[in-house]
């Protein structure tokens, strides 16, 4: 069975099916369904209130979200093809940082689309006057997600995935535990703790969530963006935890109205995981 980063071909095929069903749930079902319901009951706000505003979202943003979804699909196809080819070489320092900065550039397209019609500081909640709360929100989030992860492991999810798909540890995890290339380790840490939290929070919580919320309602948008966030990591073993993380981060974003909170929680969670991996080296 061929692997790339611990993910088998059959696992990629299942993840592709989940990605397709996730996209259909919004573009094929929720989008026309909620539009019809709003025509019947136009006086209802359909749960569009909350800390994340949708008032400035336009049809263009729906097109952009569709473009991001096409990118996710293209990435899945590329990874699946590489798995078929049984690619075994490990990533280099330049590949890790290059890929991360590429992701950041993609995320930067969002402010470029929004800046001419939206105050970005207000839209993303950059000026958050209760910023001190992040110092207890971050550790509480990390502890809660660690507990969820431990419960999933105790419940047999990891063992079932390993037995069913022959899944192994992701390449980055193995590198963090075993690699002696300190430049590569530094690139992985920078990517996981700084670049990925910023890029992913801007894309998934900062943009995809409010756009989907605008054309559906907040509970569907939370579940959709959480599932999409989980599946595009393309790792079946981590999928349930990643979905929970995605949904909880949406809730935090709604409650606080600030993307700083979700970026901080995301970075803290990744940093904690990296810390445990580094401890395994001792």
- The domain locations on the chain are 3-43+50-118+129-281
Sign, CA torsion 186/8/232/112: positive
Sign, CA torsion 98/246/142/127: positive
pTM of the entire predicted model: 0.93
**Model pLDDT for residues 118-162, shown as the tens digit of each residue:** 999 999 999 888 888 999 999 999 999 999 999 999 999 988 888
Residues 3 and 166: their CA atoms lie apart, in Å, by 9
Residues 213 and 49: their CA atoms lie apart, in Å, by 10
| Confidence tier at 179 by pLDDT (50, 70, 90) | confident
- Give the per-residue pLDDT at 46: 65
**Model pLDDT for residues 198-220, shown as the tens digit of each residue:** 999 999 999 999 999 999 999 99
Residues 60 and 65: their CA atoms lie apart, in Å, by 9
Phi and psi, residue 69, nearest 5°: -65, -35
Among 85-99, 182-196, 255-269, top mean pLDDT goes to 255-269
| Confidence tier at 4 by pLDDT (50, 70, 90) | very low
């Amino acid at each position: 069975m061929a692997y790339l980063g611990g993910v088998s071909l059959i696992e990629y095929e299942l993840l592709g099916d989940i990605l397709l069903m996730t996209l259909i749930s919004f573009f094929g079902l929720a989008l026309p369904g909620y539009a019809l319901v709003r025509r019947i009951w136009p006086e209802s706000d359909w749960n569009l209130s909350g800390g994340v505003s949708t008032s400035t979202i336009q049809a263009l943003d729906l097109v952009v979200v569709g473009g991001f979804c096409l990118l996710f699909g293209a990435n899945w196809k590329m990874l699946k093809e590489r798995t078929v080819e049984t690619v075994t070489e490990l990533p280099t320092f330049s590949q890790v940082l290059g890929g991360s900065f590429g992701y950041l550039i993609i995320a930067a397209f969002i402010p470029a689309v929004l800046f001419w019609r939206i105050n970005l500081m207000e839209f993303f909640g950059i000026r958050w006057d209760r910023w001190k709360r992040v110092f207890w929100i971050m550790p509480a989030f990390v502890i809660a997600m660690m507990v969820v992860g431990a419960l999933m492991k105790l419940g047999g999810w990891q063992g079932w995935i390993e037995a069913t798909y022959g899944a192994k540890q992701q390449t980055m995890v193995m590198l963090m535990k075993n690699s002696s290339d300190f430049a590569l380790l530094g690139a992985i840490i920078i990517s996981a703790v700084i670049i990925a939290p910023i890029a992913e929070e801007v894309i998934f919580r900062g943009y995809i969530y409010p756009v989907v919320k605008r054309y559906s309602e907040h509970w569907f948008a939370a579940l959709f963006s959480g599932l999409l966030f989980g599946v595009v990591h393309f790792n079946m073993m981590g999928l349930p935890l990643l979905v929970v993380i995605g949904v909880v981060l949406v809730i935090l974003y709604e409650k606080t109205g600030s993307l700083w909170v979700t970026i901080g929680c995301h970075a803290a969670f990744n940093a904690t995981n990296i810390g445990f991996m580094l401890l395994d080296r001792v």
